[in-house]
Structure 1
Amino acid sequence: MPRERDQMWEYAEEDGSRARCKFCGATYAGGISLLKYHWAQIKIRDVAICSSVLEFVKNIAVASVREMERKGSKKKAKTSDYIMKSSSSSFPSGDSTQAGSSPHSTSSLKGQPTITSMVKKKEKEVVDLLIMKSIIMNNLPFNLLRSDEFKEELVAIANHGPGHVPPSSETAITKLLGTLKEQVEEYIEEVKMSWTKTGCTLMSNIWTDGKNCPHINLLVASPKGVIFLKSECCVGKVKDASYVANFISSGIEEVGPENVVQVVADNGSNYVAAVDLMRVHTKGRDLQRPAVTRFATYFLCLRSILKQEEGLRYMVPSPDWRNLNQAKSDEGREVT
């Protein structure tokens, strides 16, 4: 059966016993093999680098050179194995100098880059350029390259091997998006379950979107992770200390007061006023909160309340206190 003609002859012409490059006119003896190195822009022997080759032809040539190197390595390994077997039967045991190659044959090649390493380096450059082109053409931020998820994606594609085809937009929107949603919901449940063991921190801030619409956000942080709890549009609302305090207090009720260790907010005047509402009436002193496993802290908590009794008595009749939703509840009226 005749040998199938190499597809890369499409970019070359036969010139007697030599092969001519259609891009730059360079000719080389030995068929199409040397032209592949020429197109792949890999320097070998007297083969020059083609500066006129098309990008996609260069990529094909790089892959073809790599395949030739792979087959050549297997062939050399079989030949070397045959020579060693023949040598062991022809020479006395222990006469390694006669049976083996010259002692300088290996050391003379040390430090020189192999063709395979050069091909892999060239292939990496091609892949890196394609990644950059994808980022630029889709107007993606460059810090995407710092993303662990992006790196995991590239590793997964490389491990999958050649021929990987990305999912269609229809599959991404229907099947894959639903699967990711389920994974996120499972993650959120795991984080919430950890709050009873480690406690959590509420984080809040007010920001303005591109349409000049203000929003107030509330996030929950714990050693297990950070999750977004809720957000509220502030249009038409007075974003004063009472409003901020009520919003944060509602988040505390959702998370569970027994799970909240602290509240972290920005340095806006309304946030500062909301956090300092109690401190105004207690002259800057905080109430000590009882711990779960320390019996003595209950007495310390009661003692701190007695110390601040006068300030607290002035606080509960104040308009700021009466405007809080918590003050209108049964527990709030009991505290008042």
Structure 2
Amino acid sequence: MSDAGAGSSHGGSQGGGGSQGEGQQVDPGRKYGTIVNNNANHWKCIFCYKVLTAGVSRLKQHLVGGYKNAKKCPICPEHVRVELQTYMARKVEERVALSMQYQPVVNEDDVEDLDGDDEPMRKATKRKHCGPLDKFVMSTPPDILKGRKDRKGVFGACDKDLRDKVCGAIARWFFDVGLPFNAVSHDSFKEMTKIIGQYGMGLKPPSQYELRFPLLQREVANVQALLAPNREEWAVKGCSIMSDGWRDSVVQKDIVNFLVNSPKGSVFIRSKEVSEVVKDATMLFKLLDDMVEEVGEKNVVQVVIDNASNYVKTGKLLEAKRPHLFWTPCAAHCLDLMLEDIGKIAAVKTAMKKCMFINAYIYCCVSLVNMMRRFTDQRNLH
């Protein structure tokens, strides 16, 4: 009974496509070839009469061109190539979508009717019964590599157009929200695009609520988990709290960043706006004292802050409350103040003005810049 059904299917294919059953699309590759000697694996091209093995898949590769296993048909019309290339590309997209969903047991006959690809792809598609949780599991690396190889082979030149559309959509989003262009070099951006590609079609983007609450809270928990080894190090070897004050000239606000340094490295804890209290040593002391409480007084060895007058008073207040802590002025800030004082000396101030004028003059002319770099071993003036 099964053999008779198979023979009927092959006979119909030979006649120019045949009936594939209701609900299934006819493989257009069958229209441009004929079966040789009733062997479904041997097809003859109707344009150049070349006989190809490995089924209708090899015939389509022969007609489309660009495959190592099949020589391109020299007289195949362009509209036929476009038709077959579009069909093959759509089948790859359907296979990717199906691979992300629940897949029942399939046999080789079903796979052949679905796509008509050659034996390696049938073996890759044929798999055991998948449970409902399998769609949440990432594909194994060999499957991912095979999918990428198939995509390149099927899409060919069309793949460049598809990538251009995707990159154009990403670029428009960057322009709309005003993101800096160097954001694409972040590892998190590359990871995001990779995971979106693995998800496939039909991804529902996160809502504002998801970003504001559950996803943000989840990321905070992830960061806290990353900090756990550092906190353990603080308890064993001690740590230093570092305060870095600066002014945001764009929004005209004074900001203080708090970091913790230990032999395991430096980590950022939080940032505080201190525009209203930057001159108030008592309020700055309260902020610093709260940081000591958060990190743990027994874990803190010293506190490093600026040595401006308000911060000096803050450090003394902290030492008075916690006698075992050391207040250390920031060495970089000390050097900045020293250089500022040196720059106020008349002779140095005059020399600095001349240097700044010469520097501006050189960088206004490309030929002078090239000449300067030739004598400075390709180094710029700072």
- TM-score of the superposed pair, with normalisation by structure 2: 0.40
Larger gyration radius, structure 1 or structure 2: 1
What is the TM-score with the length of structure 1 in the denominator?
0.45
